[in-house]
Structure 1
Amino acid sequence: MFALIEAAGWPIWFLIVASIVAVAIIGERLWSLRQSQVVPKDLLPKVVQEYRKNGVTEELIARLNQGPVLGRVFAAGLKNIRSSREVIKDSIEEAGRAATQELDRFLTTLGSIAAVAPLLGLFGTVVGMIEIFGSQTPTGSNPIQLGHGISIALYNTAFGILVAVPSILFYRYFRAKVDAMVVEMELQAIKLVEVLLGERKA
């Protein structure tokens, strides 16, 4: 591994750091964007059942705030249950915006890595080309310096692509998943409001 890094030259360190950050973000988002952590399917009926049994209690609100992301949206609506429909709707929308920001966390960074990694690879390629041209002397070329320049150019180009491709694929996957979860949260919140106001059967 160290021999590969040495052959790729100092520009590879930028790509190594970018790859570590990308892997960390991908792992964290895979864990955080599980359906059970964001929009569990059984949460709405449980909340409605408990509300009809005990009403809005501090225990219910606290449990929802400490649970999945959808629970925090529900908690915002339940806390304003005695207010008008508009106030309930506004409180849910505010909580939904906060939840969306939480779901979007680190995705901009991952997208930036996907865009920048090929440029970092290109930068390494340019450094390698400079090394190649620097190997030319009036008496010929220095084969060691020439070979090192070629390895810098090729390794950085390949590693830049290797970092960029998974990053962009996971970025698009997470982006689509977040969008779907936001829509699902909106639908669940609308159902909750309608049930609480007696406009829909549970």
Structure 2
Amino acid sequence: MYKKIGKRMIGFSLSVIGLIVCAIPMAIIALLIRMDSKGPIIFKQKRLGKHQKIFTVYKFRTMCDHAYEKGGVATRSDDPRITRVGAILRRTSLDELPQMINILKGDMAIIGPRPILPIEFKKYRLNKRYAHRYDVLPGMFCTVDILNRAAEREVQFEMDADYVDHMSLALDIRVFFGIISTVVSGKNVYREEVGINSKKGNRR
């Protein structure tokens, strides 16, 4: 029941509440983006959704205009294409807030495999285990975000497939609150930080 109806109902309801509660903060973020750099406030990009159908994802813009065409996905904190406001939004995951609109439209869920670019899955398209991640709606956050938001694709895809196998209300609640802790700590947003934070943890 949760997989077929409950998950969608909860996601829709929380997104409506979230958009109302976050209306003023989102307006402030939009103003800061406008003041900080040229370009659109909302970043739109084609991503792979459920059953590998392409949809348009919405995020607050964190890089300079046409940044992807200039160098692809940003994987380092010192990427010069990341704006000053964008650096803060990425660290706090506030750039994801517009995806609540995707949830209302039925393109995404709150918890689910993170949507990626079609080209990023091209070489894995024949891997049935990894393709399993597309049996559910993509999400704003997923299990991989708790441990390592900058994980390599193979690690991410395996964790996504495992999430689909065990998807439940209890798991989604654990992931949701786990994400809050991860976001507050601001760790492992970029790939070069993973090893650093791991070493710090080993010294404690």
TM-score range, shorter chain: under 0.3
Which has the higher Rg, Structure 1 or Structure 2?
1
Q: Which has the higher helix share?
A: 1
Q: Which has the higher contact order (CA 8 A, sep 6+)?
A: 1
TM-score normalised according to structure 2 size: 0.21
TM-score normalised according to structure 1 size: 0.21
